[in-house]
Amino acid sequence: MPSIAITGATGFVGSNVAAVLSARGFDVIALTRREPSISLPWDYAVVDTYDVEAVAQAAQGTQAIVHTAIANDFQRLEPSEAYRAYPGLTQSITRAAMSVGAKPVYISTDWVMDGTGHKVTEDSIGQPVNTYGYLKALGEQVIRDLSPGVGAICRIGGVMGRNRLIEGAPRSQDVGFGYFVSSLVDTVRSGREFGVFSGPGVNLTATPSLAAEIGATIGRIVDRNAWGVFHVVSDDAIDRWDLAMLTAEVFGLDTGLITQVEPGPGDRFDQPVPTDTSLDNTRVKTELGIGPVSVRDMLEHLKAEEDGALHPVTTSL
């Protein structure tokens, strides 16, 4: 069977990508920096992911290395540590992939954009306004420089879903779109009021992603040996309030518990936040043959995941 190595497979996005690819018939190898503290449903190799030769040895014979690992606490990293954890690590993974003939697939973000455009196309290089966007944009350039005509960059945003291995989310609503839907659902289902962030310093509009759909799209990229930038997002852009209302409709939540608030001091980002990070996904459609994927579709498939299985919009598992 074809095999794929994945960094960050125990994380939120990585665990969904690994689960979907495994269900599609790929042999998944999780590249972990230490012995996992939980049981993994896939093979794994404990490896220093900064060591090109060690990663190459662990990934020998794989079709691709999917790089989902990130440092979630990047704001607390010293500049040299941040560089090493983001573009530095991407460089090691990409060099290892190219040395064994595997396709590097890099997970990037809509925050590489400055937030002043709307439905930005996949040929845009981006213009980050904060450290996180800058670090991820540097990672994209690593792919362009070290694996031209081979490597794939998947920009995602406002990912819906849950970690497949660990209960709970690493954080609740923030000024970005990450964890927004799950945080809203969990809060309102418990009978508590949920304040949708609004106002200055908030990412107000996005084209969300579904974690399972990210995995399905990566499977297509590998199957078709596709390369370049792909926006793995919904077809339609949506603002935070409309997303909250649509989530309530799909999940049957009490809209009376949903309000609008400005984030408090502890919830604010200490750097500029892009306002509109919506992305155009035309190239995903034309290059990979993917059909309609609306925000409603994503929410309905996310709700279907309450049966314990994954439900990508465009792939039946």
pLDDT tens per residue, range 262-305: 999 989 988 999 999 999 999 999 999 999 999 999 999 999 99
Task: Find the mean pLDDT for residues 232-255.
Answer: 98
pLDDT over 70 percentage in the chain:
96
Domain boundaries, the chain: 3-307
- Cα angle at 209 between 203 and 213, to 5 degrees? 175
The CA-based diameter of the chain, rounded to the nearest angstrom, is 56
Neighbours of 6 (CB within 10 A): 33
Q: Is the pLDDT of residue 75 over 80?
A: no
pLDDT of residue 74: 59
Task: Find the mean pLDDT for residues 229-250.
Answer: 98
Q: Is the pLDDT of residue 19 over 90?
A: yes
Q: What residues contact 188, with CB distance under 8 A and at least 6 apart?
A: 194, 248, 253, 254, 257, 258
Reduced to 3 DSSP states, what percent helix, strand and coil does the chain have, rounded to the nearest 5?
40, 15, 45
Q: List the one residue out of 159, 284, 291 whose CA is nearest residue 228.
A: 284
- Confidence grade of residue 81 (pLDDT, cut at 50, 70, 90): confident
- Give the DSSP letter of residue 262: P
pTM for this entry: 0.96
SS3 assignment, position 137: helix
pLDDT over 90 percentage in the chain:
89
Specify the CATH architecture of the domain 3-307.
3-Layer(aba) Sandwich (3.40)
Instruction: List, in sequence order, every residue forming a beta bridge with 107; answer none if it has no partner.
Output: 154
Contact (CB, 8 A) for 313 and 240: no
Place of tokens 């309530």: 248
pLDDT of residue 308: 94
- Confidence grade of residue 71 (pLDDT, cut at 50, 70, 90): confident
